[in-house]
Chains A and B, each alone.
Chain A
């Protein structure tokens, strides 16, 4: 289980998003919100890329603030619009992140094949289309045995086959690793095969459970 406690994130004194309390069990959660609502800021904070107030911790006490390295071992993040230096290849990135996350090379190769990255594994990122970059970012987001996988707009620019593989991977990580998958999307996820456990929305800069009624 993951607990988000008294979370808030401000820029230059202005509150962007707050989460008084949130408890998540393994499963898939959809964060909805308009553009600029603070979804990406929330995701980046959860993944430890930007500082925030409050705490985020797993049920065994591993927390973002108190055990930053062990927390990061369990959290993977796939960006909405991934940005990699153009001269680096998918191989450079997957091998480096894979090593940092202590993953076996065969898992790296498996993910690479699953997203069809093997075709351009040794080519520099500058030659990639936005879809290819997105696949690379998603493959990186599944490296290791993460307990929390955060996917920001995972479906944009993805072809149909990659979308299917992504859905399969989400299910697999929830079943095998008891992962919590947090995702944001402006697309209607109801039309996909992603099983959503619960949806949230950001209202008045606060994350609240989404109630369609």
Chain B
């Protein structure tokens, strides 16, 4: 157990620090205690509505399963397969303990909802919550045990992959995108859903009242800061999985072009949402500078990642303070075009200055 906890539990929480910080910031910063209670009471009002948090719990569980699967596949963790030498009952007990700790946030919220349901004497809701939690634990623990019992599974290549590999070669800016969709799909989906909801919510406000560009700019800051996890993953991919990249004789312009193109692809969904939902009265010029502002923040974050080796928690903290700075400047009506140009120039300067001297130590 002493071996399983650092590999699966500590690493899980370290890897997802940014995600948890974001949830804590959202839950603690925007919602007051009675908002939480009101939302909880809404959830337990009927078993049908209770499906909403349960869906989120299953998505979180997917994150746990993906993480555990990835850890087991890593060569450095091959020693864990000795686990199979334990009696089956002990294996189950250990797997359940691991996933119970990984699912702790879900259990805490489940307990909160159960207490609310108890207070309102809604036994049906309590039963649904308990069944859902039990299923989550069984699924995760079973997956963990199954993966540990099937270490050298045959890697099959699908017909479509074989066909595509035969016909085409992948373009470099798509390397990271493919890696992301294969290995960090939950993060990608979560980030893009968060961006979509933020843009939809903010642009909807323009239909009810008259606002200037500042409201949308604040939304763009939130969306860009929300992409920090993805940019950190891109940086990790470049420096860990493509560590040989720095040894290639690529001119600076080409290197930066590849990186910019990758960032543009990452931000493509936000650009599409922005174009689709852009407030009618704001005009094309404002749309163009808003898109540029969104992109410039992402590029600055990318430059900051090369300036100093930072883990996800450190970069999140730094970006959080930058976000406050942009927020205040936007409130004081500093033009976002100016902020965008500054962000892009600082990002470029940091990247150019530190690219070769940067040394990657932190993993994730």
Contact of A77 among B162, B169, B244, B252 (CB under 8 A): B244
Would you call A49 and B165 a contact (CB within 8 A)?
Answer: no
Contact, CB under 8 Å: B249 / A101: yes
* A89 on the B face (CB < 8 A): yes
- Min CB distance, A67 to chain B, in Å? 10
Question: A89-B165, A91-B169, A124-B161 are known contacts. Are A49 and B247 too (CB-CB below 8 A)?
Answer: yes
From A50, A68, A72, A127, B359 is in contact (CB under 8 Å) with A50
Residues of B within 8 A of A123 (CB): 157, 165
Complex: chain A residue closest to B354, CB-CB: A51
Which A residues lie within 8 Å of B249 (CB)?
69-73, 100-101
B175 at the A interface (CB under 8 A): yes
Residues on B with C-beta less than 8 A from A72 are: 247-249
Residue of B nearest to A140 (CB): B244
A51→B356 contact, CB < 8 A: yes
Contacts of A73 in B (CB 8 A): 249
Interface size on A, residues (CB 8 A): 34
CB atoms of A49 and B172 under 8 A apart? no
A55 within 8 A of B: no
Residues of B within 8 A of A76 (CB): 247
Interface of A is mostly: mixed
Contacts of A140 in B (CB 8 A): 244
Residues of A with C-beta under 8 A to B250 = 69, 100
A69 in contact with B251 (CB, 8 Å): yes
A77 touches B247 (CB 8 A): yes
- Give CA–CA (A97, B172) in the complex, Å: 10
The answer to the question of B178 belonging to the interface, with a C-beta cut-off of 8 Å to chain A, is: yes
Contacts A101-B249, A122-B165; A88 near B244 (Cβ below 8 A): no
Q: What residues on B are CB-neighbors of A70 within 8 Å? A: 249
State whether B356 touches A68 (Cβ < 8 A): yes
Question: Which residues, 122 to 168 on A, are CB-close (under 8 Å) to B?
Answer: 122-124, 126-127, 140
Chain B residues contacting A84 (CB-CB under 8 Å) are 241
Identity of the chain B residue whose Cβ is nearest the Cβ of A70 in the assembled complex: B249
Q: Which of B248, B356, B357 contacts A100 (CB 8 A)?
A: B248
Q: Looking across the interface, which residue of chain B has its beta carbon closest to that of A72?
A: B249
Which among A79, A101, A127 is the interface contact of B248 at CB below 8 angstroms?
A101
Q: Kindly identify, within residues 349 to 364 of chain B, every residue whose CB is under 8 Å from any CB belonging to chain A.
A: 356-359
Q: Flag whether B149 is at the interface (Cβ < 8 A).
A: no
| Pair A122/B241 contact, Cβ less than 8 Å | no
Known: A100-B249, A100-B250, A123-B157. A83 touches B169 (CB 8 A): no
Residues of chain B within 8 A of A68, CB atoms compared: 356
30 of the cross-chain contacts (CB-CB < 8 Å) are A48-B246, A49-B247, A51-B356, A68-B356, A69-B252, A71-B249, A72-B249, A83-B241, A85-B179, A85-B242, A87-B182, A88-B175, A89-B165, A89-B169, A92-B170, A92-B175, A96-B169, A97-B248, A100-B248, A100-B249, A100-B250, A101-B248, A101-B249, A122-B162, A122-B166, A124-B155, A124-B165, A126-B155, A127-B157, A140-B244
